[in-house]
Amino acid sequence: MKMYRFRVLFIYLLFVVSNGVGNDAARPAVINVGALFNFNSSIGKVAKIALHEAVNDVNSDSSVLNGTTLNLIMKESVCSGFLGFIQAMQLMAKEVVAIIGPQSSAVAHMVTLVAKELQTPLLSFAATDATLTPLNSPFFVRATVCDYYQMTAISELVDYYGWREVVAVFDDDDYGRNGIAALDDALADKLGRISYKAAIPPTTSVTRSDIMDIFVKIAMLESRVIILHVNSHSGRIIFNVASYLGMIGNGYAWISTDWLSSLLDSYSPLSSDMMNSMQGFLVMRAHTPDSNRKRAFASRWKSITGGSPGLNAFALYAYDSVSILAHAIDAYLNQGGNVSFSNDTKLHSSNSSERFLQGMRKFDGGPALLSSILKTNITGLTGPLKFNSERSLVDPAYDIINVIGTGYRVVGYWSNYSGLSTTLPESLYSRPPNRSSANQHLHPVFWPDGSTTPPRGWVFPNSGTQLNIGVPLRVSFKEFVSRVPGTNDMFKGFCIDVFQAAVNLLPYPVPYEFVSFGDGHKNPNYTDLVNMILAGKFDAAVGDIAIVTSRTKIVDFTQPFVSSGLVVVAPFKKLNSGAWAFLEPFSPLMWGVIVLSFLTVGVVVWILEHRINDEFRGSPTRQFITILWFSFSTLTFSHKENTISCLGRMVVIIWLFVVLILTSSYTASLTSILTVQQLSSAIKGIDSLVAGNERIGYQAGSFAQMYLTEELNISKSRLVELTSPEEYAEALRVGRIDALVDELPYVELFLSSQCDYRIVGPEFTRSGWSFVSISTGFSPSPDMSTAILKLSENGDLQRIHDKWLTTSSCSQDNTEIESSQLHLKSFLGLFLLCGIACIIALCIYFTRICRRFHHASRNQVVSDLQGSNSNLQRLRTLITLIDEKKDPSKKRKKSREIEDSPFDDERGEESERSAKRNQSQISRDGDSD
C-alpha cells in the first residue's frame, strides 16, 4: 500500500515538473504585434513615436514578458477603408497575435471583419466611433474614450448655456456621421436638436470653394452654435472661411471635438492667422490625470522630439495600448497559452482563394488573449486602465479648454460620473455622484466676440424676410383682438398691446408683420390657426389662444399672459325667506347631531349627579323630565339645576362652551339668510350638466366644443354654437340654452354688463392664453416668456388689462352660487371635545362605583344560597350602590367605607328617603294650593 502511494506521488511530481518545464519551453522568444495607423496625420506622427517608446520600455522590463521580446510591425493605413483592409491582411499574414489600431474609425469597420474571422484582437487608441460595439465587432477593444461620451459632454455643455439648437459640421464618413448621430441622441435627452447638418467630403481634395458654399448656407440660418467634428485638413480651411465670412464673433459660439485639441497640443503655437480665427472656441480634450509617470514621460518626450510634435492625449493612449497588450500577453502565457496558428477552412475552400489567401492563418489563442485584455487592471500614463462592459476605458472624462490669444486655458471638466465641474474628475470619484443642475459649474469663458457673456445662440435669418404672424379676425369680444378699420395688417386690442409691449422688451429687433386669419363673418377656429403654423403659412400667432394639450404637441407656447379655464354660466333667481327659514342655518344631519348631543349630555350629567344631588332624584318620570329640561335649557343658559360633583361641573362647562359656539353660528347664519339676498340656480356646475340633459351654449371657434364632446362625452345634439355676447344673453333669456360654457376671460367680460347670470360651480379646466411661437427653426419663445414675466412684475400687464377690459358693474356678492348651510364637518372638533369629556367623566365615575362594589362584596356576610341567588344578590348590591343617596356634606373615612355594608341601614335609609319624598310632595301640593 505504501509503495502504491509513493508511485502515485512520484507520478504527480513528475507531471508538475514536466508541465512547468513545458510551459517555459513553450514561451516564445519573439511575439509579433501589428500596428495600423496613418503615419502622416497629426495623431499618427505622435503615435508612431509613442509606440516605439512603449515597445522599448516593455522589452527592457523583465517583469512583464519574462524574456519574451515584443516585435512591433507597423503598416500605413492612410485613413482609407480599402487600403486599411489590405494592410491589415498583410499584417495578419505575418502571424501577429494582435493589432494596435486602426487609428481611423472607417478603417476599423473594415478590419474588424477580418479580425473576427482570424480571431485577432484589435486594440485601438484612436478609433472613437460609438457604433464599434462588441455586438458587431467582437474582437475590437477601444483603448481610448468613446465618442458617445464626448457627444454627451457637448450636449450637457450646450444645455448649460441654455442653447436648444446647433449646427453640426462633420466629415461625411463613419467617424463623422456616427459621431453626429450620437450627438443628436444626446441633445434629444436635453430637449435640444441639430437644426442643420453640414457634411464635408472627408478626402484631402476638399477645396476652399466647397467649404465656402457650405458656410454661406450656415450663415443664413438662425442657429449660431456650431459643432465641428472634422479632421485637421478640413478644419484649417473652415477657420479661414469662417473668418472671411465674419462668423468668428457676431453672436456665434463654436465647439470643437477632440481633433482640435490634439492639433493644438501637437503643434502649439499654431500660425497667428489660424489662432486668430479660432479665438473663443471651446474645445474638448480627453482628460488624463496628472501623475509622476506622466510628467516623466512628458520630459522624456521633449528630449526625444525637441518639442515638435508635442505630446497629446492620443500619444498617451498609444503608449498605454502597448502596456495593456504586453500585460495581457504575459497573463495569457502564464496561464499556459501557446502562440500557434492554424489554417481557416473558410479561407482555403477553393484553389483561387488558396493562392490569394495562402498566408492567412487563424490565431488559435485569439479568444483567450482577448479575455486577458478585457481583464486588464493596471495604471498607465492616462490613469487606471480597466475596461467596462462596452470594452471602453472606465471613468471617461474630458477637459473643456477655451482658446485665448496664442494658447488656451482649461475652463472646466466633464466626467460621466458628475457632469460639468471646475474640480478635477479624479477628486470627485470618492464623493457621491451629483448631476443636479445646481452642481454644474464652469469658469468664465472668453467668447469669439471678446466678452464673457454667453452668446444667445441664435438670430433671425439674414434673408431679410419678416415673420408672418397670424392674428385671428374676431367678430365678437373685440376688446381682446380686432383689426383696425380700413387696414389689412394693423390690429388692436388687449392681446396685441401685450405682444407689442413684450417685443419692446427684447434685447434685439424682431421684424414681423400681422396677417389676419378668418373670414370676418364669424370667429375663426383656433385649432385651424395652430395647424397653419405647423403647415408653414405662419411663423407665429398672436391672440387669445388657449394652451391646449393637443396644440402643445405641434407648436411651442410662451409664458401665459392671462389665466384662463372653462366655467359654466347659468341664469339665477332670487330666493325669498319661507315659513321654515329658521331651520336653514343647519343641515339636517347637523340638526340630528345637535339633538342627540343634548340628550347625551343630559343623561351623562344625571348619572354623575344622581347619587349626591336631590334635584336629580325622584320618581322615574320626574327624573326623565329633569334630564330633558336640564339638557335643553342649557341652550338658553336658563337651567335651574345646580351641579354638585366636580365631574358634572366639568362636563357642563365644556358643554356650555359648545352651546355658545352653536348659538353664535346659528344666529349669524340665520341673520344672513333673512337679510342678505340669496340666489338659486337649478344648475350647480359642470357635474350637473354632464349628468343632465340641459342644452349648452359655447363660443364659435373655441376649444370648448371639443372638450365637451371628447373629454366629457356630452352629445353634440345638446350643444348650441353662439357667436357674440348679445347672442349669449338672448339664448339664456328665451331658454334656447340652459347654460353657457366658455373661457373665464370671455365670461368675465360678458358678466360685466349682464347682471342676470352668474358663474355656477368652480372653474373645471386650468389653462391660459399664450402666444404661439415659431414651429420651425429656433424661436424667441424663451425671451418672450421672460418679457411677459417682466410685464407682470412691473405692473404693465395690469395697466393694459385695465385699459381694455372693464370691471363688472353688477353686484359681486354672489359671483358663485353655492349653499350657505352650516354642516357637521365645521363643528366636528367641538362635538369631539365634548364627547371626550363625557367619556372621561363616566369612566372616573364608574371606576369609583366598581371600587365601592368590590369593598362591599368582600365585607358583606355571604348567605348559604348558592347559584343564581348569589348572583342576584350581587346584582342587587350593584344597583343599590348606583341608586343610593350619598350625603355630600359628610366625609366618610376610608376604613368605615370598607367596613360598612350598604344593607346595614337599608331599611332605615329607605324609610328616610320615603319620608323625605312624602314631605317634598306635601310641600309641592301646598305650593300648588
Residue 4 clears pLDDT 50, i.e. is over it: no
* Per-residue model confidence as pLDDT tens digits over 68-95: 999 999 988 877 777 888 888 888 888 8
Residue 683 clears pLDDT 90, i.e. is over it: no
Share of the chain above pLDDT 70, in %: 81
Band (910; pLDDT cuts 50, 70, 90)? very low
Residue 493 clears pLDDT 80, i.e. is over it: yes
3-class SS of residue 719: strand
Give the per-residue pLDDT at 230.
Answer: 93
What is the average pLDDT across 736-758? 90
Round to whole Å and give the CA distance between 769 and 746: 12
More confident residue, 558 or 628: 558
Query: Which of 817, 683, 692 shows the shortest CA–CA distance to 739?
Result: 683
Band (626; pLDDT cuts 50, 70, 90)? confident
Residue 2 clears pLDDT 60, i.e. is over it: no
What is the average pLDDT across 214-226? 91
**460-474, 677-691, 813-827, 907-921, range with the lowest pLDDT:** 907-921
- Cα dihedral 859/861/864/868 (nearest 10): -50
Share of the chain above pLDDT 90, in %: 39
For strands 99-100 and 69-76, give the pairing. Answer: unpaired
Q: What domains can be seen in the chain, in order of their start residue? A: 30-144+293-346+357-386 (3.40.50.2300), 147-290+396-439 (3.40.50.2300), 467-562+769-804 (3.40.190.10), 581-662 (no CATH), 680-766 (3.40.190.10)
Residue 869 clears pLDDT 60, i.e. is over it: no
Give the per-residue pLDDT at 818.
Answer: 44
Band (718; pLDDT cuts 50, 70, 90)? very high
* Per-residue model confidence as pLDDT tens digits over 569-624: 988 765 555 666 667 777 888 888 888 888 888 788 777 776 666 667 767 777 77
Instruction: State the CB neighbour count (10 A cutoff) for residue 652.
Output: 23
Residue 451 clears pLDDT 70, i.e. is over it: yes
Residue 44 clears pLDDT 50, i.e. is over it: yes
Give the per-residue pLDDT at 360.
Answer: 76
Judge whether 534 and 555 are in contact, CB under 8 Å.
Answer: yes
Beta strands in 565-708 (DSSP E): 566-571, 573-575, 678-680, 696-699
**DSSP string covering 146-215, please?**
-HHHHHHHHHHHHHHTT--EEEEEEESSHHHHHHHHHHHHHHHHTT-EEEEEEEE--STT--HHHHHHHH
Round to whole Å and give the CA distance between 898 and 895: 5
* Per-residue model confidence as pLDDT tens digits over 884-893: 666 554 444 4
The amino acid present at 591, given as its one-letter code, is: W
What is the average pLDDT across 912-922? 48
* Per-residue model confidence as pLDDT tens digits over 253-282: 999 999 999 999 988 788 888 899 999 999
Residue 724 clears pLDDT 50, i.e. is over it: yes
Band (18; pLDDT cuts 50, 70, 90)? very low
What is the average pLDDT across 194-201? 92
Round to whole Å and give the CA distance between 342 and 118: 10
* Per-residue model confidence as pLDDT tens digits over 519-540: 888 889 998 999 898 888 888 9
Round to whole Å and give the CA distance between 557 and 552: 7
Judge whether 91 and 36 are in contact, CB under 8 Å.
Answer: yes
Residue 187 clears pLDDT 90, i.e. is over it: yes
Band (762; pLDDT cuts 50, 70, 90)? confident
Round to whole Å and give the CA distance between 461 and 447: 22
Average pLDDT, the chain: 82
Give the per-residue pLDDT at 699.
Answer: 92
581 Cβ partners below 8 Å, 6+ apart? 670, 673, 674
Residue 134's alpha-carbon distances to 104, 111, 138, 272, 635, in angstroms, are 17, 14, 4, 44, 87
What is the average pLDDT across 827-837? 81
3-class SS of residue 122: strand
Round to whole Å and give the CA distance between 340 and 179: 38
Residue 321 clears pLDDT 80, i.e. is over it: yes
Give the per-residue pLDDT at 348.
Answer: 57
What cell numbers appear for 122 in the block?
Answer: 484589435
* Per-residue model confidence as pLDDT tens digits over 788-817: 999 999 999 999 998 998 765 565 444 444
**283-287, 370-374, 462-466, range with the lowest pLDDT:** 462-466
Residue 908 clears pLDDT 80, i.e. is over it: no
Residue 248's alpha-carbon distances to 175, 224, 226, 273, 604, in angstroms, are 26, 10, 11, 13, 92
Judge whether 876 and 904 are in contact, CB under 8 Å.
Answer: no
Give the per-residue pLDDT at 72.
Answer: 93
**DSSP string covering 473-510, please?**
--SS-TTT-EEPTT-SS-EESHHHHHHHHHHHTSSS--
The amino acid present at 433, given as its one-letter code, is: P
**238-242, 244-248, 477-481, 834-838, range with the lowest pLDDT:** 834-838
802 Cβ partners below 8 Å, 6+ apart? none
Give the per-residue pLDDT at 320.
Answer: 95
Instruction: State the CB neighbour count (10 A cutoff) for residue 397.
Output: 25
Residue 636 clears pLDDT 80, i.e. is over it: no
Instruction: State the CB neighbour count (10 A cutoff) for residue 274.
Output: 16
**227-231, 346-350, 489-493, 726-730, range with the lowest pLDDT:** 346-350
Round to whole Å and give the CA distance between 921 and 713: 76
* Per-residue model confidence as pLDDT tens digits over 124-178: 999 999 999 888 899 999 999 999 999 999 999 999 998 888 999 999 988 899 9
What is the average pLDDT across 765-784? 73
Sheet holding 719-722, edge to edge: 719-722, 696-699, 739-743, 566-571, 757-760, 816-817
Residue 376 clears pLDDT 80, i.e. is over it: yes
Give the per-residue pLDDT at 656.
Answer: 81
Q: How many residues does the chain have?
A: 929
Band (359; pLDDT cuts 50, 70, 90)? low
Paired with 721 in beta bridges are 698
Residue 63 clears pLDDT 90, i.e. is over it: no
652 Cβ partners below 8 Å, 6+ apart? 601, 605, 634, 643
